[in-house]
Structure 1
């Protein structure tokens, strides 16, 4: 046992398995109508596949494209009522799901949530800017946007570099200047997007 913190790095570890990315995440949902209304009709995720659950054929398995080909799926049944009350989480449970939003559409995303009756909190999270809301079953969702353009294939490298700079500065959290300096160190443009001012603080609860 050691008191040394786990190293933070973008380099892949020496592990027996090497993953190539996220394929899908599956949620136990309520009914199809409410699930489609929220994830397709409000968040804009196309419903790309519907079929019986291979392990429980009386349950329907819905597949949504989250926007980049990565999939979010739900096990639903028409005899299940939606329950918007906050979920209780514990060890091994899902705390929240986070999805990306284009910076240019960030403000209208909040307006659409409000119009649809889904309250949200908005926070400046240092490395990114986020809205927090809940779906029709109380699952916390984060809709996040980058404060700077970060190429997808350099994201881990940028975050790990910002982490190193943060530690060197003695700061508790990564902030704008750490991301900006990381981008510059890695030879990437560090032009910030225009985003509204928002408080820092705890997430949606």
Structure 2
């Protein structure tokens, strides 16, 4: 069934078309640990703090993820952080991914290491990723693009990569598909220098 659904950057014939991501809200632990991870380690400014309007006994924290898009947390000082990770289930969050500038990727690795956090790094074929956990037990992916691709053309590029991957019979999108997609689309995208890492699957 899934192979019968087309992959394309064309707008679907649907009654609604979203215009982007506004924010995501997470059930968090406490304010101190949440601020320590998202502001003090990842560098997201804390831009708003107010009561949870549906439950004023909790505090609602708003962080700017770097491009004006927001991630928010409901926190309470009586909740401990979760060092054990989240259980997967239908409707639950598998991971959150935030973008890192390519020229700061190795510096970011050092910061995660200095903070005493475990992590894994993978070459995902078309991008690079580091995986760690936040204070709530959520898997956090910090990714960087291998090539300098304008935001307004990312969907177009990925759809072309998908078409090339399918034509090639590959199990996943590889660097060669990204290079070919950029060439076919006439995009002169700069390749970034990134560290060596295992390729393919795993978290």
TM-score between both structures, scaled by the size of structure 2: 0.97
What secondary structure does 1:84 align onto?
coil
| Larger mean Cα displacement after TM superposition, 75-84 or 3-12 | 3-12
Q: Is contact 1:103–1:195 with CA below 8 Å preserved after alignment? A: yes
Residue aligning to 2:167: 168
Offset at residue 138 of structure 1 (A): 1.1
CA RMSD of aligned residues (A): 1.1
Distance in 1 separating the partners of 2:73 and 2:130 = 22
Residue aligning to 1:73: 72
Distance in 2 separating the partners of 1:137 and 1:203 = 21
Q: Is contact 1:132–1:203 with CA below 8 Å preserved after alignment? A: no
Q: Is contact 2:125–2:200 with CA below 8 Å preserved after alignment? A: no
TM-score between both structures, scaled by the size of structure 1: 0.96
Offset at residue 158 of structure 1 (A): 0.1
Residue aligning to 1:132: 131
Offset at residue 127 of structure 1 (A): 1.1
Q: Is contact 1:120–1:131 with CA below 8 Å preserved after alignment? A: yes
Residue aligning to 2:14: 15
Listed as ranges, the matches of 1:1-205 within 5 Å are 5-204=4-203
Q: Is contact 2:62–2:71 with CA below 8 Å preserved after alignment? A: yes
Offset at residue 190 of structure 1 (A): 3.5
Aligned residues: 203
What secondary structure does 2:33 align onto?
helix
What secondary structure does 2:4 align onto?
coil
Q: Is contact 2:98–2:141 with CA below 8 Å preserved after alignment? A: yes
Q: Is contact 1:59–1:76 with CA below 8 Å preserved after alignment? A: yes
What secondary structure does 1:149 align onto?
coil
Offset at residue 98 of structure 1 (A): 0.3
Distance in 1 separating the partners of 2:20 and 2:3 = 28
Q: Is contact 2:46–2:61 with CA below 8 Å preserved after alignment? A: yes
Cα deviation, 1:3-26, whole Å, max 9, x if unaligned, reads 752100000100011100000000
Offset at residue 83 of structure 1 (A): 1.4
Change (3 A) 1:34 1:165: same
Distance in 2 separating the partners of 1:108 and 1:33 = 24
What secondary structure does 1:45 align onto?
coil
Unmatched segments (≥5 aa) in structure 2: none
